[in-house]
Amino acid sequence: MSNIFEKNAEEIRVLSLFSGCGGMDFGVEAAGGHVIFSNDILADACKTLSKYFPDTDIRNADISGIQTFPTADIVVGGYPCQSFSMAGNRDPKKDERTNLYKQFLRVVSIVRPNYFVAENVSGLQQLSSGTFLKEQLEAYNNAGYNVTYQVLNAKDYGVPQSRKRLFIVGIKKELNQVFQFPKPTHGKSTKSTGELKPYASHGEAIKDLPLWPEGEFYERPHDPEGHFSWYYMSRNRKAKWADPAFTVVANWRHITLHPASPMMTLTWSNLTDGWKQRWDFSDQYEHLEANPERKKLDKPRRLSWRECALIQTFDSQFTPVGETESKFTQIGNAVPPKLAEVLFSHLFSGAGLVVVDKQIPLHLTRK
């Protein structure tokens, strides 16, 4: 028994499912792994993968139609999450995507890797009192894996974005190991947390990009309401310059505002009659109060896809394949590469592996 990451050769062979444009894959490679196989159903995502992972076997297909897979030390993937999302229809029983975890489980059962890492939205933990999450944990446990899970917020690990995601890590029971998640490195320092770095500023992350990148963000041409619908104006869409950004979403219409935009203020609210509010733009710029030298947008705009990529911690040269809307979809669906790197470094190095001398009861994994 040891806390060493058990691999079958010199390199760590990684099989990636539901790979998207490679957010998790970039993190895997930065942590020292080698992605040998990737899969996604979206053609543009697979073209992006081919662009940045030329030596990887990339399959643009429905995963259910793929029957054979290479041997691997670890299987990773973020199966589609819309049916569990707090922003989605939130009725998983009626959404076929709810059962995509079974395809992930099927591949794990075929490949029998020593480890697996699955990612989903944090809403999976809350829906139906956690029954959908419990179903998955039990399935992985019955397949022969010690499983632990935790909701991680990307901002706690140096990503300039507040983004909560649930990760499930499984380890083959015969290895007598269990995974403990990395502790936050960023946030407010307390006696219990120790010394932490301050949260990363999303304004600073994107400050060197063009202030008005024509064609790289969503606008509503020829619309009498202007560029922002009533729904968009029903909440505050502007995070402070010095703070992490709000979550980067996959729908370019709902992307939040550039931090150099004017502040939004609540102009009326009638929450007793549903969730009805109205926010409007003011003439205030909170980011200039701290530093008058910062850039300023006279007209508010949504973040560009290039800015979203930097906020997600993709490399500054990262350019996904496809039209502008497709770029937003790929970037918004991705796991932040920096968060993935932290997680996989913690696993590959053995720092997150704890030796156990007996089977872990399933209820102990539900933190």
Closest CA relative to residue 180, chosen from 14, 358, 349, 1: 349
Structure tokens at 359: 């089977």
SS3 254: helix
* 183 vs 285: CA distance, rounded Å: 35
DSSP-assigned letters across all residues of 267-316:
EEEEGGGSSEEEEEE-S--HHHHH-TTS---SS--BPPHHHHHHHTT--T
Residue 337: CB atoms within 10 Å: 24
Query: Which 3 state secondary structure label does DSSP give 77?
Result: strand
CA distance 51 to 135: 37
Catalytic one of 21, 46, 81, 308: 81
DSSP 3-state of 124: helix
Other beta carbons less than 10 A from residue 309's beta carbon? 28
Beta strands in 79-204 (DSSP E): 115-121, 145-153, 164-172, 177-179
Distance CA 104, CA 112 (A): 12
In whole angstroms, give the CA distance from residue 236 to residue 247: 13
Cβ neighbours of 224 (radius 10 Å):
5
Rg (CA), the chain: 21
Q: 46 an active-site residue? A: no
Amino acid at 63: I
Distance CA 346, CA 132 (A): 27
Coil/strand/helix, residue 247:
coil
Can you tell me the distance from the alpha carbon of 58 to that of 48, in angstroms, rounded to the nearest whole number? 10
Active site residues: 81
